[in-house]
Amino acid sequence: MDNILEQHDSTFLLPRNAPPGFHVLAKPTGSICNLDCKYCFFLSKELLYPDSRFRMADELLEQYIKQLIQGQRVQEIVVAWQGGEPTLMGLDFFERSIAYEKKYLPQGKTILNTIQTNGTLLDDAWCEFFKRNNFLVGLSLDGPREMHDAYRVDKGGAPTFDKVMHAAHLLQKHAVEFNILCTVHAANEQHPLEVYRFFRDELKTQYIQFIPIVERATPELLPIANEGWGDSHHARPLYLLEGNLVTERSVNSQAWGKFLSAVFDEWVRRDVGTVFVQMFDAALASWVGVPPALCIFSETCGNALALEHNGDLYSCDHFVEPKFKLGNIKQDLMIELVASDQQRAFGNAKRDMLPKYCRECEVKFACHGECPRNRFIRTPPSANAPDGEEGLNYLCAGYRNFFNHIDHPMKLMAQLLRQGRYADEVMGILAQEENEKYANVGRNDMCPCGSGKKFKYCHGRGDA
Ligand code: SF4
Ligand code: SF4
């Protein structure tokens, strides 16, 4: 290990194919976590390292921070911790990380530290540390109590909602900036507004990310996968991206689109500029014509990698599987692995493997077939492909509805931004449009919005 540090003791020449910046999710405890969330795809990755202690060594931490800083030409370097549960490493580990950042950061560059946590181990000391070092914290919370506790349980199967809420309040007490990471699944997919309003009105959070749960399974695995994994059920087998079935916990594709549309409708009428939903920001970028910050909606990917606790670098957090291992940063320079033909091919495959059905889709500019991990169904039959084509995204139906649904307000916001105005003016424009549209509708008429409901039960309701 010393050799690599010595060989590259100052800024090294970056490979020709290297992107200016890249993102690494580092897992200092590997997949080890103190919880046993029923839908977690990552817990089983423990099986990849049968004899490991699952703790990132100090020399590797130094090596990693140094290579991360020296391998990028961007102004801001992001140091992102994830798991498993990274807080299991203890505060000392992160204090050392900050010390290495200070040691290797050249003048004129900045660092943003982020950590994704289940929150259950946070206390005042953690929050003071986060505040002191300007961490951006991602806190996993799936909505109100019954929706969160449906799947997010500890090793004994006990609910975790109260502990996570305690963590959220601690973060607020210490004025730590945090995002809510809310997965959408069978237990909350029918309750978009309840979930959104809970975050906005009860938790008073401004930053929300929605993430669809799609747990793939083969026909052989599906029955036991549905029964559940964890200490009180079946042992988790290594989760691989195989099979074209999904578990009962997974979000339904249409429901996912309706969930996003319902939240969007509420957000675009009252919360633009005060609540930030990552997916809506990414969509707006596509309507404006700039690359979205979310890899899943980009044309190509390959610049968001995953680092295991022992230095193994993988193509992506969702592809921590033997065939997607690029190398180990103790032997190979991380930037050379990032720039490698294997990794560039991985990223370009997102574009190159798109079925014709997607290439001709009216919302391809915003969707780009979403993430390859979810591309395991067939397209509808066509003249050229009577059995359909392989490689359509399982969430396609939902995304297609959603992106079409938001087209009009997105066009309005994009136009405002192009005119140098603020996107939040869209709220006033939509309110005026709707006043005109509904002005002469009778209570018992069908609602002009196309819902199929009577006006008095739809937009004619006092609260609509
Ligand atoms: S595989 Fe999916 S999650 Fe991974 S980098 Fe590509 S789009 Fe992003
Ligand atoms: S909405 Fe469906 S068809 Fe259109 S680009 Fe996305 S996955 Fe492909």
pLDDT in tens, 335-380: 999 999 999 999 999 999 999 999 999 999 999 999 999 999 999 9
Integer CA distances (angstroms), 336 to 306, 320, 339, 341, in order: 15, 19, 5, 10
pLDDT at 42: 87
Of 282, 351, 334, 267, residue with least CA distance to 66: 334
Nearest ligand 1 atom to the CA of 317 is: 4
Instruction: Tell me the average pLDDT across 90-119.
Output: 98
pLDDT at 234: 79
Q: Identify whether the C-beta of residue 195 lies closer than 8 Å to the C-beta of residue 147.
A: yes
182-211 pLDDT, tens per residue? 999 999 999 999 999 999 999 999 999 999
Is pTM beyond 0.85? Reply is yes
Question: Beta-carbon neighbour count of residue 51 at 10 Å?
Answer: 4
What's the rounded Cα separation, in Å, for the pair 435 and 426?
Answer: 14
Q: Which residue of 214, 299, 373 sits with most ligand 1 atoms within 8 Å of its CB, as the best mutation to test the pocket?
A: 373
What's the rounded Cα separation, in Å, for the pair 254 and 296?
Answer: 18
pLDDT at 231: 64
Q: Which residue of 353, 358, 379 sits with most ligand 2 atoms within 8 Å of its CB, as the best mutation to test the pocket?
A: 358
With 50 as the cut, is the pLDDT of residue 108 above it? yes
pLDDT at 5: 43
With 70 as the cut, is the pLDDT of residue 3 above it? no
Choice among 36, 142, 154, 317 that is catalytic = 317
272-314 pLDDT, tens per residue? 999 999 999 999 999 999 999 999 999 999 999 999 999 999 9
pLDDT at 463: 56
Instruction: Please tell me which residue, 4 or 73, carries the higher pLDDT value.
Output: 73
Instruction: Tell me the average pLDDT across 423-451.
Output: 92
What's the rounded Cα separation, in Å, for the pair 464 and 454?
Answer: 13
Local confidence band at 1 (pLDDT 50, 70, 90 cut-offs): very low
Instruction: Please tell me which residue, 235 or 296, carries the higher pLDDT value.
Output: 296
236 DSSP 8-state letter: P
Residue nearest to atom 1 of ligand 2 (CA): 400
Which ligand sits nearest to residue 214's alpha carbon? 1
Nearest ligand 1 atom to the CA of 298 is: 7
What's the rounded Cα separation, in Å, for the pair 385 and 247?
Answer: 28
How many Å lie between the centroid of ligand 2 and the Cα of residue 227?
Answer: 31
What's the rounded Cα separation, in Å, for the pair 48 and 76?
Answer: 33
pLDDT at 462: 66
With 60 as the cut, is the pLDDT of residue 398 above it? yes
pLDDT at 235: 82
454 DSSP 8-state letter: B
How many Å lie between the centroid of ligand 2 and the Cα of residue 21?
Answer: 28
Helical axes 396-405 vs 253-270, angle rounded to 10°: 20
Cα separation of the two ends of the chain: 62
How many Å lie between the centroid of ligand 1 and the Cα of residue 76?
Answer: 21
How many Å lie between the centroid of ligand 1 and the Cα of residue 47?
Answer: 22
How many Å lie between the centroid of ligand 2 and the Cα of residue 392?
Answer: 8
Instruction: Please tell me which residue, 459 or 132, carries the higher pLDDT value.
Output: 132
Q: Identify whether the C-beta of residue 174 lies closer than 8 Å to the C-beta of residue 147.
A: no
Integer CA distances (angstroms), 94 to 64, 101, 164, 326, 425, in order: 13, 10, 21, 26, 42
Nearest ligand 2 atom to the CA of 361 is: 4
Side-chain half-sphere CA neighbours of 272 within 13 A: 21
21-58 pLDDT, tens per residue? 999 999 999 999 999 999 998 888 999 999 899 999 99
| Catalytic residue check, 281 | no
Side-chain half-sphere CA neighbours of 279 within 13 A: 24
